[in-house]
Amino acid sequence: MKFLEYQVKERFKAAGIPVPDGRLARTPDEAVLAAGALGPIAIKAQVPAGGRGKAGGIKLAKTPMEAKRAASEILGMTIKGFKVREVWCETAQEITREFYLGLTLDRDARKPVLILSAQGGMEIEEVAESHPAAIARLHADPWRGPLPFEVRDLIFRAGLGPLQGQLAPFINRLYALARSFDALTIEINPLALTRDGGLVATDGKLEIDENAIFRHKDLHGADDSDDDPLEAEAKRRKLTYVRLDGSIGVIGNGAGLVMNTLDLVQREGGRAANFLDIGGGAKAEVVHSALELINSDPNVKGILINIFGGITRGDEVARGVIDASRDLGLTVPLVVRLTGTREDEGRRLLQEAGITPKSTATEAAHTVVELAREASR
Amino acid sequence: MKFLEYQVKERFKAAGIPVPDGRLARTPDEAVLAAGALGPIAIKAQVPAGGRGKAGGIKLAKTPMEAKRAASEILGMTIKGFKVREVWCETAQEITREFYLGLTLDRDARKPVLILSAQGGMEIEEVAESHPAAIARLHADPWRGPLPFEVRDLIFRAGLGPLQGQLAPFINRLYALARSFDALTIEINPLALTRDGGLVATDGKLEIDENAIFRHKDLHGADDSDDDPLEAEAKRRKLTYVRLDGSIGVIGNGAGLVMNTLDLVQREGGRAANFLDIGGGAKAEVVHSALELINSDPNVKGILINIFGGITRGDEVARGVIDASRDLGLTVPLVVRLTGTREDEGRRLLQEAGITPKSTATEAAHTVVELAREASR
Amino acid sequence: MSILLARASRVLVQGLTGREGSFHTEQMKAYGTDVVAGVSPGKGGSTHLGVPVYDTVAEAVRVSRAEVTGIFVPAPFAADAIMEAAAAGIALIVCITEGIPLYDMVRARAFVLDAGVRLIGPNCPGLVTAGEAKVGIIPNHINRQGTVGIVSRSGTLTYEVIQGLSQAGCGQTTSVGIGGDPILGLSFSEVLRLFKDDAATRAVVMIGEIGGSDEEHAAEEVIGPGFGKPVIGFISGRTAPPGKRMGHAGAIISGNTGTAASKLQALKRAGAEVCDTIEEVVAATVAAVGQPSSAAPR
Amino acid sequence: MSILLARASRVLVQGLTGREGSFHTEQMKAYGTDVVAGVSPGKGGSTHLGVPVYDTVAEAVRVSRAEVTGIFVPAPFAADAIMEAAAAGIALIVCITEGIPLYDMVRARAFVLDAGVRLIGPNCPGLVTAGEAKVGIIPNHINRQGTVGIVSRSGTLTYEVIQGLSQAGCGQTTSVGIGGDPILGLSFSEVLRLFKDDAATRAVVMIGEIGGSDEEHAAEEVIGPGFGKPVIGFISGRTAPPGKRMGHAGAIISGNTGTAASKLQALKRAGAEVCDTIEEVVAATVAAVGQPSSAAPR
């Protein structure tokens, strides 16, 4: 789950991490009110994507009139596919230096890692590549968290020793926030040193582990798929779905198998319209729901279902396919490959319903690409 | 730092551990009001000591009139040297079983240990000795705390598996409370199972690590020395003081050395009037303050100062002794033994002030006992 | 011979009485696995599917002397189940459960490491020593006893490879699905080292996927001239669009490592034979082990 | 020879620039200790008492190759200082600080144990290898080189014994004050084992006190026929009134151990010579090592 900048800053503030004063505006007039209340402000497009600045999604406004003009320009823009519906108006900061502070899970080290750099701002990834020594890292023990001496050491290694007293609580609060929200990634960038010597989080990112959402049922993040009705619908159906740019609808169980199915479709000269993983142990209704979703995509010219059951049972899959075929009145060719747990029963059910399953994924991919090509002629 | 029952229960309640409803009463009339509001109540003397029940400090009252009589009897009692100034009036519980749940620091294991027994109540120490298997223990890793499976295992080992769902949160909250208050000991005894199937803490104890008081500056515990003016005064002066029943005032640095000085005084036929450890690195003012305290004790017939300086410096001690002798106009014999760091300077200062220090503790103990005996004649 | 699991292994099932636990315990028993105990807190003292049930793993291990556990408990409780097994002295933990919060796994993995215990998974299909025993959910009928070791990050692709090899007459020693989550127990490197030391294993098939850099590390640290056995490699997700997430966070592409290209290159550099399809994997493996194993399929 | 500390030991001081740190660093240097670095966060790059100061222990160790540290930082920060030293690869940590919260110490001690590092203290006087080096606050002039090892829980009583022995012409190998806190690093058992293996140590004086059961454990586990050297024991606090205890938890855990009687009995049973006064300890030790050491006092 991802969050918009202002949602992240609300959480920072609640966790004791200073952020600039700000207000949300959905219209240019609301931005005028914000400028009236706050003085000179930065007006920032609220979209769940990076690179807003370069796209013109951030503007400074010294007066309410300037705020109106800037907000008018930004509201309604499309940035990386996301329409700007809200802007965050916050007190403009007099910044003397910009740092980077982030936390992510390092899958190789299998630990959370805190990252601190005296060279913050937009180019942090470039810094990481060109001056790796400018990026100080601290792998926290997952039980102990970052200890005071480790945080001190991190700060001195980043060359920020003189700011130790101010930075250490920032780092501890960031870690506590990450833990309490099961954050996969949390970033303060830039972490700004202002003219008056204070530290303030002028931008932030937060992404929460979807697996841990059951612990955070009251959290509402950014809807990062609201501009794609199919992705939104898939989310509602709790299906792991990603839209792609081809014409073969792909349904499978297990990310590796689905990814491999995409590869096979491409080898056969086709291109997948989507990635859809029904996961392990899916019931007939899930298969039904997945087929219904794919069938509603006008780009789809053929559907490939590739199931190798372990925890998923062949009979459940077959029932879902049969019911969906009957209920949906499919007009595009459907190719099913079914093997694994309860394979015999599943295949028998399919045969009885007039669907002949393929026995290998390659054969199934070949057939669906062929049939889709014929159907399109 | 120790707490009275009602102070402990306030903390339990704040930590989510259920306790009976109750009110504090300082007069029999307040107890009447409590009985009016709560119905049948238990009236319990609030003193920082165990064994109240046997001493008659706990009575049941079914009516306000009974409450008045019971409170009149209990208020003003003296239990283990503590005068009863307050009673806690709480809703009488219909108890079907009594368990024991406690936490302490196990110095041998060097870990916190949770203790759970299905046989709670007053006789828990006897149970520990006669049926050690009836006492289940869990040594928690100090970083991880008790993990869910460990708590489950503790409950099953105590034979309380059927109450697992209710007990586990109790145990977790008790541990969290101990950690957040730096508790050396925390106990729920009895932990009562009531007729309606609920668990409630009907009595509790809490003792906090004095070394961690700097983290809990807003905490106010039971003043467990308020009946001894000298102990109260020592507390105000931040001196480690324990009143004993002899006549030789003893001042030393380091608990081991002071304890050994008590042993030596006894060997020489005297008895110490107190234990007073000025600790490591004491300044002249601390020595002055300690001497002033001991001199104010009418039981003291002779004073023995035994200092072996490591982090404590002989010159500082000497200055404190000299200033105090001058300011206080001591009327009882004073014997000083001084050696260790800056011994020469300290001894020289004392000599100049007319005090001849002894060089061994045995000699000093012998001398002070002799002089005190002579002075008492 | 084989690695990690054998006919004599005494197996515990955590979450035995649940729906998945019950179904797959029956399958494991049908395959010949010696399931000696189950754990379901509060159901201690009962029997389920002919297996005695205990309240805690500690008690189950004390009584049954189980050495291996298969975990089928729901995701919110699975990390705790892993740690319970590690603390009770289980030597090999196989966690099938999918969807465990990553911070839970980070802690559980540190715990397991401290305890010196092996963990496979989570979010994995488990492992089979062909013809001997199975812990997990790999379908029984596809395995065939032989000389090929399999290690894979993908559950379902593992089945593809096993089935393909078995149908080609090329059996397996042990097939290990290490799981697709970002935070895992055993890595490719660790399983490959075990195969290296297993006399019965004559070739190893390694099925990776995009994300992370475990494949790269295995290529650099383990595969190579010293490995002494042919390694046939395959990476799925080559046509996945960069940056989009594919189900497991494991497929997030990070930095320059983690891409299919980086992994394929590392495998080639280490001397592994890299294939484009599962069919090619099967063909290359059959060629590598000489002739099809003569053992009967089961 | 000696244990734990020698003339060649490279010593770091944490809290070097503080009042106590400064005073005792001067004393340590005066005794001949090789103080190679100090740590005071924020003062890195400066020099204090001729010793280079660093911001972190990691940096100090990297540059100075310090192996032993003496900690003189205030109680609220001392547990963190201990862990910093352990993480930086220091082999022996000596924590003088008094008044460290017990939960802090419980955690720090677990950390130190995980790191495989030795900790002496806290709330201890440190140690001296007579004539070679000192870390801590034991007065310099009382030590005399010889053949007696001393291990003690009491700070000031340690000085009594050292001085008594030295004045009787009976020098020491190493004198170790393990500290009087409930949660300690090295126990009596561990130090006694070191003395057992030290060829130069011909007898050991052990100064215990009431509370805990470290003395009992040492008597049962280490002292005894296998120890091979005379042990002279002393327990202080025999006339101390029993503590005012709240609750039962402490009694459930420690039962009847911890009293002076229990400790004296355990020591006697193990064959230690138990004394009533420090003078008796000195006399018994002189008798045990035969004749006074001939080394000059220093």
- Subunits touching D (CB < 8 Å, at least 3 pairs)? A, B
Q: Does D101 sit behind a cis peptide bond, omega within 30 degrees of 0 on the bond before it?
A: no
Same domain, yes or no: B115 and B207 = yes
Angle at A43 (CA atoms; ends A40, A48), nearest 5 degrees: 155
Q: What is the DSSP string of D94-135?
A: EE------HHHHHHHHHHHHHTT-EEE-SSS-EEEETTTEEE
Among C70, C92, C120, the domain boundary falls at C120
Residue D40's CATH number: 3.40.50.720
Query: What pLDDT score was predicted for residue B96?
Result: 94
| Confidence band for B223, pLDDT divided at 50, 70 and 90 | low
| Domain assignment of residue B39, yes or no | yes
Report whether pLDDT(B91) > 50.
yes
Among B165, B183, B215, the domain boundary falls at B215
Return d(Cα B60, Cα B41) in angstroms, integer. Answer: 6
Same domain, yes or no: D277 and D153 = yes
Closest-approach residue (CA) in chain B for D243: B242
**Contact: C106, A142; criterion CB under 8 Å:** yes
Tokens of C257: 């490592």
Give burial (CB, 10 Å; 0-12/13-18/19+) of C3.
Answer: buried
| Domain assignment of residue C97, yes or no | yes
| Domain assignment of residue B147, yes or no | yes
| Domain assignment of residue C132, yes or no | no
Q: Cβ of B111: how many Cβ atoms within 10 Å?
A: 18
Return d(Cα B48, Cα A186) in angstroms, integer. Answer: 48
Return d(Cα B201, Cα B170) in angstroms, integer. Answer: 10
Same domain, yes or no: C153 and C28 = no
Q: Which residues of A are catalytic?
A: 100, 187
Query: What pLDDT score was predicted for residue A223?
Result: 62
Same domain, yes or no: D113 and D164 = no
Q: Does A190 sit behind a cis peptide bond, omega within 30 degrees of 0 on the bond before it?
A: yes
| Domain assignment of residue B37, yes or no | yes
| Domain assignment of residue C262, yes or no | yes
Three state DSSP letters for C120-141: ECCCCCEEEECCCEEEECCCHH
Same domain, yes or no: C142 and C25 = no
| Domain assignment of residue B14, yes or no | no
* CA-CA-CA-CA torsion sign (B89, B91, B92, B98): negative
The whole domain housing C90 covers 10-120
Return d(Cα A290, Cα A282) in angstroms, integer. Answer: 11
What residues are paired with B302 via a beta bridge?
B248
| Confidence band for B49, pLDDT divided at 50, 70 and 90 | confident
**Contact: C159, A211; criterion CB under 8 Å:** no
Same domain, yes or no: D188 and D263 = yes
Residue A198's CATH number: 3.30.470.20
pTM, 2 dp: 0.91
**Which chain D positions have a beta carbon within 8 Å of B337's beta carbon?**
none
Contact indicator for B361, B306 with CB cutoff of 8 Å: yes
Amino acid in position B155: I
Query: What pLDDT score was predicted for residue C96?
Result: 95
Query: What pLDDT score was predicted for residue D167?
Result: 92
Query: What pLDDT score was predicted for residue B316?
Result: 92
Among A34, A69, A91, the domain boundary falls at A91
Tokens 């920082």 belong to B48
**Contact: A257, C154; criterion CB under 8 Å:** yes
Tokens 């951030």 belong to A58
Give burial (CB, 10 Å; 0-12/13-18/19+) of A354.
Answer: exposed
Same domain, yes or no: B54 and B102 = no
Task: For D129-177, write each residue's pLDDT tens digit.
Answer: 999 999 999 999 999 999 999 999 988 889 999 999 999 999 999 999 9
The residue among B8, B82, B106 with the most chain D CBs within 10 A of its CB, best to mutate, is B106
**Which chain A positions have a beta carbon within 8 Å of B144's beta carbon?**
143
Among A215, A238, A261, the domain boundary falls at A215
| Confidence band for B242, pLDDT divided at 50, 70 and 90 | confident
Backbone φ and ψ of A191, nearest 5°: -95, 110
Q: What is the DSSP string of A280-302?
A: TT--HHHHHHHHHHHHT-TT-SE
* % of chain B with per-residue pLDDT over 70: 98
Task: Give the dihedral of Cα atoms A218, A220, A221, A223; nearest 10 deg.
Answer: 140
Among C59, C91, C120, the domain boundary falls at C120
**Which chain D positions have a beta carbon within 8 Å of A144's beta carbon?**
111
Same domain, yes or no: B347 and B268 = yes
**Contact: C24, A311; criterion CB under 8 Å:** yes
| Domain assignment of residue A222, yes or no | no
Contact indicator for A261, A361 with CB cutoff of 8 Å: yes
Residue A254's CATH number: 3.40.50.261
Same domain, yes or no: C114 and C148 = no
Same domain, yes or no: A87 and A99 = no
Same domain, yes or no: A81 and A121 = no
**What residues in chain C have their Cβ under 8 A from chain B's Cβ atoms?**
41-42, 44, 55-59, 77, 80-81, 83-84, 87, 111
The residues, ordered by sequence, that sit 6+ positions from C29 with a Cβ below 8 Å of its Cβ are C35, C49, C50
| Domain assignment of residue B220, yes or no | no
Return d(Cα B169, Cα B177) in angstroms, integer. Answer: 12
Q: How many domains does chain D have?
A: 2
Three state DSSP letters for D213-281: CHHHHHHHHCCCHHHCCCEEEEEECCCCCCCCCCCCHHHHHHCCCCCHHHHHHHHHHCCCEECCCHHHH
Contact indicator for D177, D138 with CB cutoff of 8 Å: yes
Same domain, yes or no: D113 and D154 = no
Tokens of C210: 């995009």
Query: What pLDDT score was predicted for residue A108?
Result: 83
Tell me the residue length of chain C. Answer: 298
| Domain assignment of residue D191, yes or no | yes
The residues, ordered by sequence, that sit 6+ positions from C138 with a Cβ below 8 Å of its Cβ are A310, C125, C126, C127, C128, C158, C159, C162, C175, C177
Same domain, yes or no: D94 and D142 = no
Among C120, C153, C168, the domain boundary falls at C120
Mode of pairing for the β-strands spanning B334-340 and B135-139: unpaired
| Domain assignment of residue B315, yes or no | yes
Which of C50, C36, C41 lies closest to C74, judged by CA?
C41
Which of C11, C17, C78 lies closest to C42, judged by CA?
C17
Distance between the two ends of chain B, CA-based, in angstroms?
Answer: 41
Q: How far is A180 from chain B (nearest CA, A)?
A: 16
The residue among C135, C163, C187, C239 with the most chain A CBs within 10 A of its CB, best to mutate, is C239
Return d(Cα B46, Cα B58) in angstroms, integer. Answer: 10
**Contact: D106, B142; criterion CB under 8 Å:** yes
Task: For B75-88, write each residue's pLDDT tens digit.
Answer: 999 988 788 999 99
Same domain, yes or no: A123 and A259 = no
Same domain, yes or no: C107 and C173 = no
A158 DSSP assignment: T
Same domain, yes or no: A307 and A357 = yes
Tokens of A74: 């930004």
Task: Give the dihedral of Cα atoms C35, C40, C42, C43; nearest 10 deg.
Answer: -40
Same domain, yes or no: D269 and D156 = yes
Contact indicator for D233, D280 with CB cutoff of 8 Å: no
- Helices C155-167, A255-267: inter-axial angle, 10-degree rounding: 60
ipTM at complex level: 0.91
| Domain assignment of residue D210, yes or no | yes
Helix, strand, coil shares of chain D as percentages rounded to 5? 35, 20, 40
The whole domain housing A57 covers 21-91
Query: What pLDDT score was predicted for residue D104?
Result: 97
Same domain, yes or no: B335 and B362 = yes
Q: What is the DSSP string of chain C?
A: --SS--TT-EEEEETTTSHHHHHHHHHHHHHT-EEEEEE-TT-TT-EETTEEEESSHHHHHHHH---EEEE---HHHHHHHHHHHHHTT-SEEEE------HHHHHHHHHHHHHHT-EEE-SSS-EEEETTTEEEE---GGG-BEEEEEEEES-HHHHHHHHHHHHHTT--EEEEEE--SSSS-SS-HHHHHHHHHT-TT--EEEEEEESSSSHHHHHHHHTSSGGG-S-EEEEEE-TTSPTT--BSBGGG---SSTTSHHHHHHHHHHTTPEE-SSHHHHHHHHHHHTSS---SPB-
Task: For B196-206, write each residue's pLDDT tens digit.
Answer: 999 999 999 99
- Run of H or E residues at B165: helix B164-180
Query: What pLDDT score was predicted for residue C250?
Result: 29
Q: How far is D68 from chain B (nearest CA, A)?
A: 20
Distance between the two ends of chain C, CA-based, in angstroms?
Answer: 17
Which residues of chain D carry a pLDDT beneath 70? 1, 240-257, 291-298
Return d(Cα A2, Cα A221) in angstroms, integer. Answer: 6
Q: What is the DSSP string of B170-210?
A: HHHHHHHHHHHTTEEEEEEEEEEEETTS-EEE-SEEEEE-G
Each residue's pLDDT, cut to its tens digit, for chain A (377 residues) gives: 788 999 999 999 999 999 999 999 999 999 999 999 999 999 999 988 777 888 899 999 999 999 999 999 999 999 887 889 999 999 999 999 999 999 988 888 889 999 999 988 767 777 777 777 888 999 999 999 999 999 999 999 999 999 999 999 999 999 999 999 999 889 898 999 999 999 999 998 888 998 999 999 887 776 655 567 888 888 888 888 888 889 999 999 988 889 899 999 999 999 999 999 998 778 899 999 999 999 999 999 999 999 988 778 899 999 999 999 999 888 899 999 998 888 899 999 999 998 999 988 999 999 999 999 998 77
| CB-facing half-sphere around the CA of B175: CA atoms within 13 A | 24
Residue D222's CATH number: 3.40.50.261
Residue B25's CATH number: 3.30.1490.20
Same domain, yes or no: D223 and D253 = yes
Which three-class secondary structure state does DSSP give residue A321?
helix
Which of B147, B149, B148, B123 lies closest to B135, judged by CA?
B123
Task: For C265-287, write each residue's pLDDT tens digit.
Answer: 999 999 999 998 999 999 999 99
Same domain, yes or no: A247 and A297 = yes
| Domain assignment of residue A282, yes or no | yes
Same domain, yes or no: B184 and B233 = no
| Domain assignment of residue C208, yes or no | yes
Query: What pLDDT score was predicted for residue A365?
Result: 95
| Domain assignment of residue D202, yes or no | yes
Which residues of chain C carry a pLDDT beneath 70? 1, 241-257, 291-298
Which of C238, C172, C160 lies closest to A362, judged by CA?
C160
Same domain, yes or no: A354 and A286 = yes
**Which chain C positions have a beta carbon within 8 Å of B149's beta carbon?**
56-57, 80-81, 83-84, 87
Q: Does C122 sit behind a cis peptide bond, omega within 30 degrees of 0 on the bond before it?
A: yes
Same domain, yes or no: D116 and D143 = no
- What is the average per-residue pLDDT within B283-292? 93
Return d(Cα A204, Cα A183) in angstroms, integer. Answer: 13
**Which chain A positions have a beta carbon within 8 Å of C245's beta carbon?**
242
Q: Cβ of A220: how many Cβ atoms within 10 Å?
A: 10
The residue among D39, D43, D55 with the most chain A CBs within 10 A of its CB, best to mutate, is D55
Q: How many domains does chain B have?
A: 3
- Run of H or E residues at B231: helix B229-236
Query: What pLDDT score was predicted for residue B227?
Result: 60
Return d(Cα A191, Cα D274) in angstroms, integer. Answer: 65
**Contact: D154, B255; criterion CB under 8 Å:** yes
Burial of A124-136, coded b for 16+ CB within 10 Å and e otherwise, reads beebbeeeeeebb
Query: What pLDDT score was predicted for residue D186?
Result: 96
- Run of H or E residues at A179: helix A164-180
Same domain, yes or no: B83 and B205 = no
Return d(Cα A318, Cα A315) in angstroms, integer. Answer: 5
